[in-house]
Amino acid sequence: MNKSMKILVTGKDGQLAQELQKRIPAGIELIALDRNDLDITSAGQVMQTMTHYKPDAIINAAAYTAVDKAESEKEQAYAVNATGPENLAKACREMGIRLIHISTDFVFDGQSSTPYQPQDAVRPLGVYGESKAAGEAAVQSILPQAVILRTAWVYSAHGANFTNTMLRLMSERDELSIVADQIGSPTSTQTLAETIYTIISKTETSGIYHCTDAGTASWYDFAVAIYEEAKALGLLEEEKNIKIRPISTADYPTPAARPAYSVLDKSRLIVDLNLESQHWRRVLRRVLQEKTGS
Ligand SMILES: NC(=O)c1ccc[n+]([C@@H]2O[C@H](COP(=O)([O-])OP(=O)(O)OC[C@H]3O[C@@H](n4cnc5c(N)ncnc54)[C@H](OP(=O)(O)O)[C@@H]3O)[C@@H](O)[C@H]2O)c1
């Protein structure tokens, strides 16, 4: 990168936006805005903010991510996940700004038995997935040169996510029952942030990309790995033994249906951007190490 780039990220306090703020590469000025600074559901505010900052690119890390709550809050989910990206895409088109929009494996129904390709037809199972699919469609039709980066099973050292929930429950309980018939790829925000900054540096990149850590797991596998790695790192007491039982989705009903198979094909990222992903378990160890402060 020769000259400094001004990048604006939405959803400042979210897991991904926080990681982006921690890993700013040389040559990038990052402006992170929370919902009070920039509510992406307001077309007027979006346009005003873009006119004020005139960024080279926007990373849309803001989203309505409460998958179950979305079933009863359809309007709010669509406002943030569909109207929000539409507003950003329109402002980007008008002002010649690049847009990197983050999306999800939940746009698929999980009926496949092989990894989903970026061009596969979307068929969401619930309101969250539908609203994210609507956001993707709006971005693609308004700004075809935008990048849509789909990811899955996101976690980080901080924030509300499966890893931190497991660590809390493991310190409180002796037994846990975890769903073993949903398969996906746990993905660290570290991986996502590095990928996004690579995309920023390659200004010709456009279209849909899939980005997750390598390998697959069930939530049960993921929980067992969190337990083993946390014990090895001293994040859980040595003498505490927890029984982790595999259960089926039917044993753990939730308001929103989840895709049974959420694995995303990452070939396009590897071919176009030369980005090889690391196995999720190795990345998990690194993220948990971060929690130990070492
Ligand atoms: N988490 C996952 O497992 C997962 C999986 C696949 C894809 N993704 C995608 O990855 C992206 C980042 O997810 P994340 O886990 O970092 O999400 P997150 O932690 O839930 O953060 C989302 C952020 O967006 C903000 N936000 C909500 N409505 C807004 C609005 N109207 N204007 C501006 N900001 C608003 C939220 O603020 P408030 O706290 O004030 O609401 C929050 O800080 C999202 O596009 C998500 O769909 C996530």
Q: So what's the pLDDT on residue 261?
A: 97
| pLDDT at position 159 | 87
Please give the distance, rounded to the nearest whole angstrom, from the Cα atom of residue 232 to the centre of ligand 1: 31
pLDDT in tens, 215-225: 999 999 999 99
Judge if the beta carbon of residue 13 lies within 6 A of ligand 1: yes
pLDDT tens track for 162-198: 999 999 999 999 999 999 999 999 999 999 999 999 9
What is the predicted pLDDT for the residue at 141? Answer: 98
Residue nearest to atom 36 of ligand 1 (CA): 11
Residue 293 has pLDDT above 80, yes or no: no
- How many angstroms separate the alpha carbon of residue 205 from the centre of ligand 1? 23
Domains and CATH numbers, the chain: 5-155+186-213+263-278 (3.40.50.720)
Q: Does pLDDT of 87 surpass 80? A: yes
Residue from 59, 69, 154 to probe ligand 1 pocket by mutation (most atoms less than 8 Å from CB): 154
92 in contact with ligand 1, CB cutoff 6 A: no
For range 277-292, the mean pLDDT: 94
62 Cβ inside 6 Å of ligand 1:
yes
The token duo for 120 is 């596969």
Cβ-defined contacts of 240-243 (< 8 Å, 24+): 240/170, 240/171, 240/174, 241/174, 242/170, 242/173, 242/174, 242/175, 242/176, 243/174, 243/175, 243/176
pLDDT tens per residue, range 93-144: 999 999 999 999 999 999 999 999 999 999 999 999 999 999 999 999 999 9
Tokens encoding 145: 């040169």
pLDDT computed for residue 2 by the predictor: 54
* Rounded distance between C-alpha atoms, residue 158 and residue 231, angstroms: 18
Cα of 163 vs centre of ligand 1, distance in Å, is 17
Amino acid at 99: L
* Cα angle for residues 294, 162, 225 (degrees, 5° grid): 65
Instruction: Give the three-class secondary structure for 7.
Output: strand
- pLDDT, one tens digit per residue, over 22-81 is 999 999 999 999 999 999 999 999 999 999 999 999 999 999 999 999 999 999 999 999
| Residue 1 confidence (pLDDT) | 46
| Interval 209-260: pLDDT, tens | 999 999 999 999 999 999 999 999 999 988 889 999 999 999 998 999 999 9
Stretch 254-280: mean pLDDT: 94
Q: What would the pLDDT profile of 1-30 be if each residue is shown by its tens digit?
A: 456 899 999 999 999 999 999 999 999 999
CA-closest candidate to residue 165, choices 241, 113, 227, 109: 227
- Is 128 tagged catalytic? yes
